[in-house]
Chain A
Amino acid sequence: MHRTIIKAGSPWWRIDFREIWEYRDLLRMLVLRDLTAIYKQTVLGPLWFIIQPLVTTLVFTVIFGQVARVSTDGVPQIVFYMCGTVLWNYFSGCLTQSGTSLVTGKAVLSKVYFPRLVIPLSTVFTHLAHFSLNFVMFVGFYAYYLWFTSAPLAPQWALLAFPLLILQCAVLGLGLGLWVAGLTTKYQDLRFGLTFLTQVWMYATPIVWPASLVVRPGMKALLWLNPMSFVVECARWMFTGTGTVTAGAAALSIGTTVILCASGLFLFNRVQRTFVDTL
């Protein structure tokens, strides 16, 4: 017999993953809802998700590539900027949407119970769909430069591990999103700071500039402490063969990601029990 025990103070570290698995159909419906709801009543539909990073890439190419002449380590500028932009968009999409998901889903959350983690989790999958579109576009440009130009592009065998980088993006975006979601239930001002924060963070990540620009050891440590630096730089290296990633950077980045995600999960788990009261 199914038994539910309702009492105060279930420990913050006990996360009921089995229950989340039970609700996998809901997770899938939430993803489908978000995807279909976005495209309904738009003429271009999913194309919008290609136009946005394409335009961003072009803007970067003109401003940072042509006008400011920031180095791209010899990689074709379009490939260089688009690789970073596409990955960054996935990460920031996960972060902002899962971060605001409790506030936006309040109407539902205050009327029915289901494992609350399903809501931020669904945003990771929704954005994975958007990412796939972006990625296909990137592969198109990449293939063109690889086969039809003499650009110095050397795809690495490590490219086979590229899905792991996407996973890291998702885990990191979700983990930080859970922090934001947990804290916004009490401090609504965080919501306004979030857009600003991701913007600043983007420029602090080697997206419009190569990591090779950073030479001072202290600054280097700071660079790799930002988990997204490794993700972007490593992805570029996988596709082009140029980049400055090291095993130490990888370990630091993955370690930070795991810590941020685990702590986000625990914080969220603690907050979700009563957040309806304060939201």
Chain B
Amino acid sequence: MSESAISVRNLSKCYKLGTIGRHTLADECQYLWHKLRRRDPRAHMGKIGPARGASAPDGAGLFWALKEATFEVAPGEAIGIIGRNGAGKSTLLKLLTRITEPTSGEAVINGRVASLLEVGTGFHPELTGRENIYMNGTILGMKKGEIDRKFDEIVAFSELEQFIDTPVKRYSSGMYVRLAFAVAAHLEPEILLIDEVLAVGDAEFQKKCLGKMGEVARAGRTVLFVSHNMPAVQNLCGRAVVIDHGRVALDDVPEKAIAHYIEACGAGRGAEFRRAPETVPAGAAAWVESARIENGSGETAGGIPMGEGFAVKLRVRARQPVESLTVGIALADAMGTRLCGINSRDVAGATWSLCAGKSLEVACRVPRMNLLPGVYALNVGLQRAVSRENLDYFAGALSFEVLPKDVFGTGKIPRGPGNIYLESDWAATGAEPAAGWGTEG
């Protein structure tokens, strides 16, 4: 019986909501005073931004980003960690990579670990490609000798031989990412902890990343992969853990875990939602408070027949005054892959302004949609029109089902591949109609 590569037992992490790191010195002195006089019952509560100051009632203002997570990963296993935004995936990764410490619980990792939360950590624009390879490599835990040995390979992988002695500030963003990924790809850990944000860049680069990770997983190394990308999890991982509200909701084969995830964040929520306060980004100037999907006759509906229209009605609330607000929605398939996104500014030239504390009801009407039957998720988002700063983005806010319908009147229901269908005319010239096939008469 071999030892687990990663063993997580009751791992928890608690944050103080609101004013982390904004204590005044006076607050702190008061806290110390209470602590000295043993009047604060919560003196030993939480190691991270514990609820300080005498005013907060017990347990209030605390947020358990991760609560008693427990799972094991066997050596050589590739495991996916999935969950909605803010479910606790990133917190788990930060704890396992030792970027921060848990509030309670324990995790034991057996083997040499490398973690990749981004590519190019520690890159300095003034340094050359060569210098940055060494900088980034040592930050990721490689020894100088190790980099010396792999240096030529790294450069070859990055395809930047000519530019290796050029400062990286002169690189294009593509070149920059290529160099960064080349270093990351040459780490040789026994255990790889990896975040999906790694999969940035163009499609080709993403493919390269995922390909490399598949290679690592097949080489018998342990991989823990945190992701939103369901197809990638399904392809790479033999098992997946669903995290929801900081807890392990399910630990099963990827198919079942993904189904659970989709249910938890999609169909479960359905055609109407009211925002839970903890999912509102901290300090957001404005956010989507509620939203619903209406069918053609104006009823809230979770099922829309193919080819018909629907409307999305959103209520936006502002905490601070917001000028020229753009409202957007995006459609995603059941795997979470985004299919398309539309917003009020680009489609209709419409933006709105809001006073602090006021709300706004926005309706977006789609007259006809060309989606194939299936379950779809609807993401909602707010952006400042001018700066394009995202104020709020909520993936999987709504979900709806496209119901099968004989849209072309041929007695058949259009099928995939893919998610969309196109209306089309078909004609042929020069071919003799086969007997019994042509038009009647």
Contacts and interface: CB of A to CB of B under 8 A. Distances in A.
Interface of A: 1-10, 23, 25-26, 28-30, 32-33, 36-37, 40-41, 107-114, 185-188, 273-274, 276-279
Interface string B173-207: 00000000000000000100000000000000000
Given A6-B108, A26-B138, 15 more contacts: A2-B111, A6-B106, A8-B47, A25-B143, A30-B135, A36-B126, A36-B131, A40-B167, A112-B115, A113-B97, A185-B21, A187-B28, A273-B101, A278-B20, A279-B21
A274 B98 contact: no
Interface in B88-139: 94-113, 115, 117-118, 121-122, 124, 126-127, 131, 134-135, 138-139
B238 interface: no
B374 interface: no
A7 B96 CA distance: 10
A277 B110 contact: no
A3 B109 contact: yes
B102 A2 contact: no
Interface string B153-167: 000000000000001
B378 interface: no
B25 A114 contact: no
Interface of B: 3, 11, 15, 20-21, 23, 25, 28, 47-49, 94-113, 115, 117-118, 121-122, 124, 126-127, 131, 134-135, 138-144, 167, 190
A173 B375 CA distance: 62
A108 B121 contact: yes
Given A26-B138, A40-B167, A186-B21, A277 B115 contact: no
Given A6-B106, A29-B134, A36-B126, A112 B117 contact: yes
B109 A6 contact: yes
B117 A9 contact: no
A8 B100 contact: no
A1 B112 CA distance: 8
A274 B100 contact: yes
A34 to B, nearest CB: 9
Contacts of B96: 6
B42 to A, nearest CB: 16
A273 B139 CA distance: 18
6 contacts: A7-B106, A29-B134, A37-B124, A41-B126, A273-B47, A274-B48
Contacts of B23: 186-187
B140 A112 contact: yes
A273 B144 contact: no
A2 B109 CA distance: 8
Contact of B102 (A7, A30, A188, A276): A7
Contacts of A30: 135
In the complex, which of the residues A8, A36, A185 has the most CB atoms of chain B within 10 Å of its own CB atom? A8
A8 B102 contact: yes
A186 B47 CA distance: 14
Given A6-B106, A33-B131, A274 B101 contact: yes
Contacts of A276: 94, 99-100
A5 B107 CA distance: 6
Contact of B103 (A2, A8, A29, A113): A8
Contacts of B101: 6-10, 273-274
Contacts of B190: 2
Contacts of B105: 7-8
Contacts of A29: 134-135, 138-139, 144
B53 to A, nearest CB: 14
B100 A277 contact: yes
A226 B139 CA distance: 37
Contacts of B95: 6
Contacts of A1: 3, 110-111
A6 B102 contact: yes
A65 B140 CA distance: 52
Contacts of A33: 124, 127, 131, 135
A40 B126 contact: yes
Given A3-B109, A3-B110, A6-B107, A111 B144 contact: no
A77 B23 CA distance: 48
A103 to B, nearest CB: 11
A6 B94 CA distance: 11
Contacts of B15: 277
A278 B131 contact: no
Contacts of A185: 21
A138 to B, nearest CB: 29
B72 to A, nearest CB: 14
B21 A114 contact: no
Nearest to B21: A278
Nearest to A108: B122
B47 A114 contact: no
B396 to A, nearest CB: 26
A105 to B, nearest CB: 9
Contacts of A188: 21
A278 B49 contact: yes
Nearest to B12: A8
A110 to B, nearest CB: 6
B126 A26 contact: no
A156 to B, nearest CB: 41
B136 to A, nearest CB: 9
A1 B23 CA distance: 43
Given A29-B135, A113-B98, A276-B99, A8 B126 contact: no
Contacts of B143: 25
